Amino acid sequence: MKNIVILGGARDYHAMDWYRAVRQNISDKKLSFLTDLMGGEGFDIIAKDDDEIEKLFIIDKFLFSKQSKLGNIWRNIFKLSIMPLQVYRLKKHAKRNPNTIYHAHPMYYMFLCWLAGVEFVGTPQGSEILIRPYRSKIYRYFAVKSLQAAKYITVDSVSMKDKIYELSSVEAIVVQNGIDMEQLLKYSQLSRSKDKIVSIRGMTGLYRIDEIVTARNRTFPKLPLTFIYPFMEDSYRVRVKKKLIPNDVDLGRLDKEQMYKLLSESKLVISIPKSDSSPRSVYEAIFLGACVAIRHNNYYEVLPLCMKERIFIIDFANESWLKEAIAFADKIKTIKYHPSKEALEMFDQNISMKKMIDKLY
């Protein structure tokens, strides 16, 4: 086995969770996390003292002070402008660390690995495959080159796997988004009243938060909603806030423990993005006993029956979709969720990671 370097943003929960899951299941090889981002744009620092963090050129202080659409554009421009510097530093890192394989999360870091000529595994995000290649020919060209340069590509859904093959003729490996079963089961066993209705996805147009609020205002104008989101666009958030009522709760970005506590107190969680791959937060909500309202996605088809039974499929043509979703949740919320053996084997991140360590590294 080679030494392993996870390459990504240290403020990215998905990348850091992957790193920590690998660390928990491997002991005979050096493992570290290499990054160019620790925080910035108002993000909390989620790296811990016991994380083995190594650094490229850290760009935090060159970013805007808070998240916004303009800030996103600037960050992308800045990261592209200093890409030669980051490639140089990555090459130096690889030279100092022979017999190492890099695992890049997500596509930008795959670009770096391709340009630096290092051996790497890549894990792109859903929109990087499902949306962006069809909006920009330049992006598509570099994405395809990066996909083809990787030793392996991992994705979290069959739809991602199929789209990658369509783009690049590369056969990706489906790795189901694992969840921290030990922590989840601890919170799910606590006795809590389930009364909250929660939106859990990013506060941007892609995730249709505005449509959730519009449906509430149309159907139950006094019903409070709770909003949590890992990231946001400030102008979009301002637009949404104009439609909120005084009892709505805007919590922003929560750490895992805070999120698990909130989801364990929720009767309905809403996740209705325009495109989706395999959303871990949806699975976490189900394991914590909530019902989840989604639009139909391919990931739903492969879920175990015990999970499907807690999912309400939204029909946007029906203006009463929120009313019907709440009625569904009210029926289900008193029934304790008991995950099947199939669900536990499919979603336990330690089971998934042990299989992937042998395959990827």
Q: Compute the average pLDDT of residues 16-42.
A: 91
Q: How confident is the model at residue 191, as a pLDDT?
A: 61
Residue 32's alpha-carbon distances to 13, 47, 51, 87, 122, in angstroms, are: 16, 12, 8, 18, 16
pLDDT tens figures, 45-77: 999 999 999 999 999 999 999 888 899 999 999
Picking from 196, 214, 248, 223, the residue whose alpha carbon sits closest to that of residue 316 is 214
pLDDT tens figures, 260-281: 999 999 999 999 999 888 899 9
Q: Compute the average pLDDT of residues 98-120.
A: 96
Residue 188 predicted with pLDDT over 80: no
pLDDT band per the 50, 70, 90 thresholds, residue 356: confident
pLDDT tens figures, 140-159: 999 999 999 999 999 988 88
Q: How confident is the model at residue 275, as a pLDDT?
A: 84
pLDDT band per the 50, 70, 90 thresholds, residue 105: very high
106 preceded by a cis bond (ω within 30 of 0): yes
Picking from 154, 91, 96, 98, the residue whose alpha carbon sits closest to that of residue 117 is 91
What's this model's pTM, rounded to 2 decimal places?
0.84
Q: Which two tokens stand for residue 49?
A: 């003292």
Cβ-proximal residues to 42 (8 Å cutoff; 6+ apart), any chain: 65, 66, 67
Compute the C-alpha angle 83/88/93, nearest 5°: 120
Residue 255 predicted with pLDDT over 70: yes
CB 108 within 8 A of CB 89: no
Of the listed ranges 41-50, 124-133, 173-182, 302-311, the one predicted with least confidence: 173-182
Residue 1 predicted with pLDDT over 70: no
pLDDT over 70, % of the chain: 99
